[in-house]
């Protein structure tokens, strides 16, 4: 459901009792944690009793499984996920009682009160860049507050109230939320048309990022490797912002005119990424990341540029970056059984799929790369289905599950076949419902295979089913 952004957003201390509908999601759980850590009386509800829900309870937050009107009795402010429907009983009861009803973006804006905000936006890489920047600032002793779109292993959470004056926040463009934050500092990783069910056209999507830059007060950092982000340089400078550009320099030209901070000699070996950094007073600064993929070097450069511009020492920032070991559902290693290793990732756009498959290929080595992909949203699959299939073509075996509909109704003309038919090279097939994809795939898997599950829906359940199936299947010849 779409809830209008309020005319005024008071700080958490003025919200009274707060209840979050859909509290188990990455966005609302972060807001709940930050509010609770500021002494706000917080409760919430979610459809399932997940790991996140149980973790919130362990932190002293009351969380109900299921939705009921009595959960919002006496509540002053109700914050809702975009996935919540208008007829949700807690929403209906909150409206009837005259409670303050807010979208997720207003809740995040509230916890920003009194802090200098660094907002990380972009079509791809927001979560990783936000997490890397947080790790870098923690390494530099800045003690930032943060709100990240996934659990980060090295931080132990997706949100925490820090003692410092900075708040680092992932700024989501999918529903226009990022237009409400008015950050002091902004990062744009890239601009690659998505969420056209909301924005309508690629031009409108790009224009939203122009508008976002118009809300920034001081500093804009962009990856000028990406044409969409590079186009924002002129927008930022026209507004009088301090603009810093970053990028990977394949020519090793230390005077590259398009990058203020540059990476060279990028190498992906043994599950790690290394590179050297030049610019902004640095020459050949070595960086090592504990995650594999050249695209992670781009994310780390953005984080390093922000930290340097904020005055932190490069060695401390690099040490902080080295602690980043990945975020949940971002090339997350789930386990290995019988010589088969399973990873899971959130990638659902062709650009993200290509990047994750390149990283997975480096991990697989001489082994097979087997990909299970679940298209997310009818509108996205209608627009990008063929490109998704082309991006998946670098795997050795592809299985495409039925679409995850999320907030949209099904369309008989938009199915997994749009993706499967565009895969060229490896064997590809439609896998049907995500709950049973593993059944047909298990007999194919053998020693040395790397299985990667991809998508923004419930495909994340496939990896654990594969691992369990590998544990229990009969040995060959038994």
Catalytic residues: 126-127, 170
- Torsion angles phi and psi, residue 473, rounded to 5: -70, 155
Which DSSP string do the residues of 148-181 spell out, in sequence order? EEEEETTTTEEEE--SSSEEEEE---TTSGGGG-
Q: Which tokens in the block code for residue 104?
A: 């997720």
Beta bridge partners of 336: 341
Q: Which tokens in the block code for residue 370?
A: 């087997």
Q: How far apart are CA 323 and CA 318, in angstroms?
A: 9
Which DSSP string do the residues of 219-243 spell out, in sequence order? EEEEETTSHHHHTHHHHHHHTT-EE
Identify whether the C-beta of residue 79 lies closer than 8 Å to the C-beta of residue 103.
yes
First-to-last C-alpha distance (Å) of the chain: 53
**DSSP3 helix / strand / coil % (the chain, rounded to 5):** 35, 25, 40
Q: How far apart are CA 163 and CA 32, in angstroms?
A: 18
- HSE, CB side, 13 Å, CA atoms: give it for residue 285: 23
């Amino acid at each position: 459901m779409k809830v209008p952004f309020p005319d005024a957003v008071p700080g958490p201390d003025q919200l009274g009792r707060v209840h979050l509908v859909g509290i188990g999601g990455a966005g609302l759980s972060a807001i709940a944690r930050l509010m609770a850590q500021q002494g706000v009386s917080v409760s919430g509800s979610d459809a399932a009793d997940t790991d996140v829900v149980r973790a919130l309870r362990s932190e002293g937050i009351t969380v109900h499984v299921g939705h009921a009107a009595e959960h919002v009795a006496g509540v002053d402010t109700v914050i809702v996920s975009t996935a919540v429907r208008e007829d949700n009983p807690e929403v209906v009861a909150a409206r009837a009682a005259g409670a303050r009803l807010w979208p997720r973006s207003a809740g995040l804006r509230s916890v920003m009160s009194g802090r200098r905000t660094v907002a990380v936006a972009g079509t791809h890489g927001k979560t990783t860049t936000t997490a890397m920047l947080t790790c870098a600032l923690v390494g530099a002793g800045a003690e930032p507050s943060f709100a990240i779109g996934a659990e980060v292993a090295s931080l132990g959470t997706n949100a925490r109230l820090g003692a410092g004056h900075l708040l680092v926040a992932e700024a989501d463009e999918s529903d226009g939320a990022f237009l409400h934050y008015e950050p002091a500092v902004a990062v744009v990783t890239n601009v690659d048309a998505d969420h056209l069910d909301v924005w309508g056209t690629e031009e409108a999507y790009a224009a939203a990022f122009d508008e976002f830059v118009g809300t920034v007060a001081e500093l804009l950092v962009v990856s000028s490797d990406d044409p969409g982000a590079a186009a924002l340089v002129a927008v930022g400078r026209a507004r009088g912002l301090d603009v810093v550009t970053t990028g990977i320099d394949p020519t090793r030209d230390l005077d590259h005119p398009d990058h203020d901070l540059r990476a060279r000699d990028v190498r992906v070996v043994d599950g790690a990424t290394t590179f050297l950094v030049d610019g902004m007073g640095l020459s050949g600064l070595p960086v090592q990341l504990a995650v594999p993929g050249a695209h992670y070097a781009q994310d780390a450069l953005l984080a390093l540029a922000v930290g340097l511009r904020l005055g932190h020492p490069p060695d401390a920032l690099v040490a902080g970056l080295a602690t980043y070991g990945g975020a949940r559902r971002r090339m997350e290693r789930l386990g290995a059984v019988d010589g088969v290793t399973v990873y899971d990732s959130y990638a659902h756009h062709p650009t993200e799929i290509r990047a994750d498959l390149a990283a997975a290929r480096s991990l697989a080595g001489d082994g097979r790369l087997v990909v299970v992909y679940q298209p997310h949203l009818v509108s996205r699959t209608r627009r990008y289905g063929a490109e998704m299939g082309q991006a998946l073509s670098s795997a050795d075996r592809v299985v495409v599950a039925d679409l995850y509909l999320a907030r949209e109704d099904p369309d008989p003309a938009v199915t997994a076949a749009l993706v499967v038919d565009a895969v060229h090279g490896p064997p590809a097939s439609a896998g049907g419902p995500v709950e049973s994809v593993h059944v047909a795939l298990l007999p194919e898997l053998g020693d040395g295979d790397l299985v990667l599950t991809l998508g923004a829906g419930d495909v994340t359940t496939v990896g654990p089913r594969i691992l369990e199936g590998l544990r229990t299947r009969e040995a060959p010849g038994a």
